């Protein structure tokens, strides 16, 4: 098995061609066999519902090569369940959990040589997606669907890695509507966030921190990741129907409880930003990253938490989570599946 010529420890969060992807089609009322492909392209009908009416959902999860050489996939059943909710949220055919997990195992095994070495701190990002492929000109759901899973080796999502990041906040942008699709993972939500993301970048910030789209009173989503704050011994994170229920955040809440912290899931009023000792953003890509500065660009108000180093709680949570993923900490909650490679 030839090792790819990649600088593993310098990988950004981006696309690198791996060897194979896997695909599965829903047709005539059933999911077919999983097909292996070495093509980076998908043949699509020019009227496919994904192209015209955005029938597309996706997921993001990671495989890690551990200190012990074993390869672990983190909480894939959770992604499988969310993939079902996303499909149902836009009238697509949901893929059963077991089929999803089978595809994940297969695509990881097929691309073994692209799983970054432990020392690099990088990982293999797995990107499942589902699209409606039937031709549709009237606005209605497709009859046929395709699930594709591709992989790409990735490094840190934010350019400064684990160092605190700077974000901006503005009331001029909504990622989703109040009773819309914020709690599912569909491409349309990300298209709707691109202008806000561009604005944040132009101003020198990594992402846009959104307030809730209904009242603009509460903290909501932080770019493509969840938000949390730390106050004394309490981990606080938004309870909001417009944010994506993050699997990373769910894991951090458990780890915070394990560390003896109190966990609160509730609305977080904007003014409470003055009360946190630490704030951060978390997700599969972002892991958990401290926010050093929040700039409210509408009101010219800055909330500072320190750009030098992440605070003690974020640091502890980060190391605990990464330790479980890389096999250096006991996986007491049974979150990782070790992938068995045929020798
Ligand atoms: N929120 C949004 C909008 C996201 O795109 C993501 C990334 O998946 C998250 C939150 C974090 O979710 P997870 O931890 O399951 O990756
Ligand atoms: C993830 O964290 O997996 C995401 O999907 C975030 C972003 C890259 C879309």
343: pLDDT strictly greater than 80? no
Sign of the alpha-carbon torsion through 12, 193, 287, 230: positive
Choice from 77, 185, 243, 280 to test ligand 1 binding pocket (greatest atom count within 8 A of CB): 185
Sign of the alpha-carbon torsion through 243, 190, 337, 249: negative
Residue 162: per-residue pLDDT? 87
Mean pLDDT in residue range 96-100:
98
CA of 283 to the centre of ligand 2 (A): 7
Q: Any residues with CB less than 8 A from the CB of 85 and at least 6 apart, and which?
A: 183, 184
Q: Name the strand (E) or helix (H) holding 104.
A: helix 97-110
Residues with CB under 6 A from ligand 2: 60, 224, 283-285
| Ligand lying closest to the C-alpha of residue 85 | 1
Residue 334: per-residue pLDDT? 98
209: pLDDT strictly greater than 80? yes
Percent of the chain with pLDDT over 70: 100
pTM for the full model? 0.97
Residue 161: per-residue pLDDT? 83
Choice from 154, 158, 244 to test ligand 1 binding pocket (greatest atom count within 8 A of CB): 244
For 41-92, write each residue's pLDDT tens digit. Answer: 999 999 999 999 999 999 999 999 999 999 999 999 999 999 999 999 999 9
CA of 243 to the centre of ligand 2 (A): 13
Residue 107: per-residue pLDDT? 98
Residue 1: per-residue pLDDT? 83
Residue 329: per-residue pLDDT? 97
For 212-233, write each residue's pLDDT tens digit. Answer: 999 999 999 999 999 999 999 9
Residue 236's DSSP bridge partners are: 229, 264
Residue 313: per-residue pLDDT? 98
Average pLDDT value for the chain: 97
Q: Name the strand (E) or helix (H) holding 78.
A: helix 76-89
Mean pLDDT in residue range 8-15:
95
Query: Which tokens sit at 251?
Result: 């894991």
User: Counting beta carbons within 10 angstroms of the beta carbon of residue 14, is it exposed (0 to 12), middle (13 to 18) or buried (19 or more)?
Assistant: exposed
Residue 196: per-residue pLDDT? 98
Residue 214: per-residue pLDDT? 97
For 319-340, write each residue's pLDDT tens digit. Answer: 999 999 999 999 999 999 999 9
Nearest-CA residue for atom 7 of ligand 2: 224
CB-CB contact of 13 with 24 (8 Å) = no
- Reported in sequence order, the residue ranges of 66-122 that DSSP labels E, i.e. its strands, are 71-74
Separation of alpha carbons 253 and 248, rounded Å: 9
Residue 92: per-residue pLDDT? 98
Separation of alpha carbons 308 and 165, rounded Å: 10
Residues with CB under 6 A from ligand 1: 60, 221, 224-226, 244, 246-249, 283-284
């Amino acid at each position: 098995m030839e090792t790819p010529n990649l600088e593993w420890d310098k990988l950004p969060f981006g696309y690198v061609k791996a060897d194979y992807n896997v695909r599965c089609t829903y047709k005539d009322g059933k999911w077919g066999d999983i097909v292996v492909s070495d093509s980076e392209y998908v043949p699509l009908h020019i009227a496919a519902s994904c192209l015209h009416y955005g029938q597309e959902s996706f997921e993001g999860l990671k495989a890690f090569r551990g200190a012990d050489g074993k390869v672990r996939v983190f909480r894939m059943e959770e992604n499988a369940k969310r993939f079902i909710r996303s499909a149902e949220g836009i009238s697509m055919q949901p893929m059963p959990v077991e089929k999803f997990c089978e595809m994940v195992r297969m695509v990881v095994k097929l691309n073994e040589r692209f799983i970054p070495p432990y020392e690099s701190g990088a990982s293999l990002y797995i990107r499942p997606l589902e699209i409606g492929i039937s031709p549709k000109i009237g606005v209605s759901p497709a009859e046929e669907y395709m699930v594709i899973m591709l992989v790409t080796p990735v490094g840190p999502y934010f350019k400064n890695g684990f160092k605190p990041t700077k974000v901006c906040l503005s009331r001029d942008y909504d990622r989703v509507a109040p009773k819309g699709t914020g709690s599912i993972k569909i491409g349309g939500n990300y298209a709707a966030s691109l202008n806000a993301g561009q604005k944040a970048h132009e101003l020198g910030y990594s992402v846009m921190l959104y307030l809730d789209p209904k009242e603009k009173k509460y903290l909501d989503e932080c770019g493509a990741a969840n938000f949390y704050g730390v106050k004394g011994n309490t981990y606080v994170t938004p309870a909001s129907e417009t944010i994506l229920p993050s699997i990373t955040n769910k894991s951090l809440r458990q780890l915070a409880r394990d560390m003896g912290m109190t966990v609160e899931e509730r609305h977080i009023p904007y003014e409470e930003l003055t009360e946190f000792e630490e704030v951060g953003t978390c997700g599969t890509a972002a892991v958990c990253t401290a926010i050093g500065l929040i700039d409210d660009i509408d009101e010219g108000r800055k909330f500072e938490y320190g750009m030098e180093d992440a605070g003690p709680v974020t640091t502890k949570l980060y190391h605990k989570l990464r330790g479980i993923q890389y096999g250096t900490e006991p996986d007491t909650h049974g979150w990782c599946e070790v992938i068995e490679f045929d020798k």
